[in-house]
Amino acid sequence: MRYNAKLNFFDLFMPAAMQFDEYKNWETDRISIKLRDFEKHCSLLIRHRDFAYAQDSSDVEMEKERLGRTLKILPQALEIEHFIRFGYRRRYLSNLDITFESLIPILYVKLYSQNKTLRTVLSEKIDDLYYRLDFTEDLYQYHVTIGPVRREEIPKHIGYNIENHLEPKIRDKEYQKIIEGYPDVAVFTDIDFFRVGKKLKIEEAGTFVELARQKVHELANNLDNYIFKTEIEDKK
């Protein structure tokens, strides 16, 4: 959630952060603070112009509880008068039991024009592709990215928050386990749902998150059903 910077932030952000005792680990550079819960793989970042909750977990109930508590406490504690951006982003992996080479033509046919003239311009053999779409729906906007990924490509796309979500003493070992759990081939979907405005009301933040969670999940499932006629699970 983004808001206009105010000088009194520096007197407010530490007392505000102290209200989140569920995060046992923290780090500050005196102009921002990172609150970390290594056990639950989630974190809360508080800065002078925005705050952001993040988790590397598919536990939707935990997200609802943690994010709901964040929105209940921080606007008042930081004396935020209004927001200028609401944002909600999720990344998905659709596991597939096919080869990368077999996946490319499926995505190409589903996501790109099959106009005969265009196909004569392009090579008949497509080795890889990347689909990006930005669009607006009423007051809201989307950034949507879809692409095929091999196992070795997944970490850079998923962007696991290693620093804030894994215990330092066992970080390398735990992250290696996570990488080993990735599929050989998958479809990666990244959906960023947001609203911008000069003075978005504080009380609208909670409503936005509920709507965003629904919209993003529906879009992810509808896209996956369109491509493969199957449902996907939330994964990170």
At 152-200, the pLDDT tens digits run 999 999 999 999 999 999 999 999 999 999 999 999 999 999 999 999 9
Scored b (16 or more CB within 10 A) or e, 154-181 reads beeebebbeebbbeeeeeeebeeebeee
Return the pLDDT at 113. 81
Return the pLDDT at 118. 76
CA neighbor of 38 nearest in space, from 143, 153, 161:
161
230 class by beta-carbon count within 10 Å (0-12 exposed, 13-18 middle, 19+ buried):
exposed
Please enumerate in sequence order all residues whose Cβ is within 8 A of that of 5, keeping only pairs 6 or more positions apart, or say none: 48, 49
CATH class, 1-81 region: alpha beta
| pLDDT of residue 134 exceeding 90 | yes
Return the pLDDT at 219. 97
pLDDT band at 229; cut points 50, 70, 90 = confident
Mean pLDDT, to the nearest integer, of 134-152?
97
Per mean pLDDT, which of 113-122, 201-210, 226-235 is the most reliable? 201-210
Return the pLDDT at 187. 97
Mean pLDDT, to the nearest integer, of 44-69?
97
Percentage of the chain beyond pLDDT 70 is 97
Return the pLDDT at 231. 46
Any idea where the domains of the chain sit in the sequence?
A: 1-81, 87-236
Q: How far apart are CA 195 and CA 142, in angstroms?
A: 9
Return the pLDDT at 185. 97
Return the pLDDT at 133. 96
Are the beta carbons of 205 and 75 closer than 8 angstroms? Answer: yes
What tokens were used for 211?
């709507």
Rounded to two decimals, what is the model's pTM?
Answer: 0.91
| pLDDT of residue 233 exceeding 60 | no
